[in-house]
Amino acid sequence: MSPEISPDIIVFFQNRFVPLRDARVGILTHALNYGTGVFEGIRGYWEEEQEELFLVRPREHYLRWKTNCALLHIHVPAVSELCDLTVELVAQNRFRSNIYVRPLAYKSAQRIGVHPDERADFAIVAIPFGDYLDSRSGLHAGVSSWRRIEDNAIPARAKICGAYVNSALAADEARRNGFDEAILLTESGHVAEGSASNLFLVRQGKLITPPVIDNILEGITRACVMELARRELHMKVVERHVPRSELYACDEMFFTGTAVEVAPIVRVDHRPVGTGEIGPVTNLLRRVYLEA
Ligand code: PMP
């Protein structure tokens, strides 16, 4: 997990660079009461040899954020401007470690009443960041009793703050039940994704992942891994419905996400995945992804 966050780090808040300790919102803020915010998560990797910090696909992340903000009628600056702001933010903090960048746009009016008005604000916070889940020896995942939210209720694709209650319930239940992470099914019983990650199965040499219509977030790491599997490993990659029982029949399984990277799953619902060891395809994709 991330270490203690210093209140001295510089964040971009209400159009200014200020210390984190001064970036505060009021208790009646619309987004705090009703979940009307949209966030993103971007990783930066510190390269010791080059003494440089590299942001991973910031344009793709900001394009997704801008599109998702528009869904809630929140306007944010152009993608290029957001990338420049982030570079400036990182430079001001002089980070010399891996980081995680959290852009957050939110309905900012301070009043009671669920219908939102036009008032909105955004912030960008960057913090030093280590492993999100310690997955080196493989994770034990459990199918959640909570179902993935439907696109027609709160679009899962949109990274809307309020929607993450669904993820929080599933992640909390998983940990209380002794699992490392949850796997959520859709209302119709198809496998969707993890609480904050996409899911891949390896079966008979093919890479399989649930389709976007199964209420998943269109993960940027998911897209990278599909591309790398096709291009570097010459694997067939299939997006299709995954029935729950296939979780117990596959050879390998892993989560992908900005925070989790490529995280192997070696047990699911108290059953070994394949041999119960981290599989060769997972190992290879993890390596190729981190190298890329
Ligand atoms: N699904 C959910 C629900 C997530 O919150 C995340 C993390 N953003 C992902 C998948 C992975 O997406 P990405 O690879 O773009 O980080």
Residue 10 CA to its chain's centroid (Å): 23
Which helix (H) or strand (E) is 228 found in, with range? helix 220-231
pLDDT at 154 over 90: yes
- Is the CB of 58 within 6 Å of ligand 1? no
**Span 154-170, average pLDDT:** 97
Taking the centre of ligand 1 as the mean of its atom positions, its distance from the CA of residue 113, in whole angstroms, is: 30
List beta partners, residue 103. 124
Residue 219 — pLDDT band, cuts 50, 70, 90?
Answer: very high
pTM of the complete model = 0.96
Q: What is the pLDDT of residue 171?
A: 98
Query: Would strands 10-13 and 120-128 be described as parallel, antiparallel, or unpaired?
Result: antiparallel
**Span 162-188, average pLDDT:** 98
Q: What is the pLDDT of residue 3?
A: 65
Burial class (CB in 10 A: 0-12, 13-18, 19+), 288: middle
Q: What is the pLDDT of residue 130?
A: 82
Kindly provide the b/e burial profile for residues 152-165, where b requires at least 16 CB atoms within 10 angstroms of the residue's own CB.
Answer: eebbbbbbbbebbe
Looking at every residue in the chain, the average pLDDT score rounds to 96
Residue 17 CA to its chain's centroid (Å): 25
Q: What is the pLDDT of residue 7?
A: 95
- Is the CB of 210 within 6 Å of ligand 1? no
- For ligand 1, atom 2: residue with the closest CA: 196
Locus of tokens 């192997």: 264
* Higher pLDDT pick, 2 / 121: 121
- Is the CB of 193 within 6 Å of ligand 1? yes
pLDDT at 1 over 60: no
